[in-house]
Amino acid sequence: MFKIVEISDHVRVEPELFGLPIQKAVKKQLEKTYENYIDEELGAVVAVLEVLSVGEGILIPGDAAAYYDSVFKLLIFKPELQELVFGRITQITNFGAFMNIGAFEAMIHISQTMDDYVSFSKSDALIGKNTKRSLRKNDICLARIVAVSYKTIPPKIGLTMRQPGLGKLEWIQEDKRKAKLMAAKAARAGARAAGGKTKARGKTKRKRK
């Protein structure tokens, strides 16, 4: 998920930034430091939002830079297990699909793309045998994160869409329409059954005295 975090740290400002106002110099240095930054604790740093405060600078002998005790805010993206994520399919392969979920790409194994037997077609699509549903590049989907590993950078993220309420947005809308129609049908059947019982009770003959 996307989060805003507040961090306190000593920021090493390089000499080429000394001509800028100190607040701006610190932000420029942070943007350089956190560009493409990813780790297990923070996730991926998307942007340096704001420098809240900058203390007095400290010089260290032998180091031309200056160090400033600073407090700043970062926008980060950190995937969490069981989190629901929207994304766009970026690639279809014979073993599954890849989906962009913000700062990372995640993988959906072919067995987790839908609740059906799925095969890879010559048209670069994943096709469900019974439902005939197809998953293609650029489809917008809703998935659940089921695995996150930081053994590599960027991390490996596993997704599933084989659960109710997940999948390509068109599938979700289709399932909702079907559920609504089934609920209405069941309600009508229940009303007819209740009406039939009422009529049957009305026809019951009374015994003569």
pLDDT tens digits, 120-131: 998 999 999 999
pLDDT of 7-41, one tens digit each?
999 999 999 999 999 999 999 999 999 999 999 99
pLDDT confidence of 53, banded at 50, 70, 90? Answer: very high
How far apart CA 101 and CA 108 sit, in angstroms, is 12
Instruction: Count Cβ atoms within 10 A of the Cβ of residue 104 and give its class: 0-12 exposed, 13-18 middle, 19 or more buried.
Output: buried
Where are the domains positioned within the chain? 2-77, 84-170
The mean pLDDT of the chain is 91
- What is the fold of 2-77? Dna Ligase; domain 1 (3.30.1490)
Alpha-carbon distance of 170 to 140, in angstroms, equals: 9
Percentage of the chain modeled with pLDDT above 70:
93
**What span, in angstroms and rounded, lies between the C-alpha atoms of 36 and 59?**
28
Q: State if pTM tops 0.75.
A: yes
What is the SS3 string spanning 125-157?
A: CEEECCCCCEECCCCEEEEEEEEEECCCCCCEE
Collapse the DSSP code of 7 into the 3-class scheme (helix H, G, I; strand E, B; otherwise coil) and give the result.
strand
pLDDT(60) > 80: yes
Helix H segments across the chain?
22-33, 169-202
pLDDT of residue 197: 64
Averaged pLDDT for residues 101-129: 95
- What is the C-alpha separation between 209 and 24, in angstroms, rounded? 103
Q: What is the pLDDT of residue 188?
A: 87
How would residue 194 be classed by pLDDT, with cut points 50, 70 and 90? confident
CATH fold label, 84-170: OB fold (Dihydrolipoamide Acetyltransferase, E2P) (2.40.50)
Q: Which residues contact 67 (CB under 8 A, 6 or more apart)?
A: 10, 11, 12, 13, 57, 58, 59, 60
Cα gap 58→28, rounded to integer Å: 18
pLDDT, average across residues 78-104: 95
pLDDT band per the 50, 70, 90 thresholds, residue 141: very high
pLDDT band (50, 70, 90) for residue 67: very high
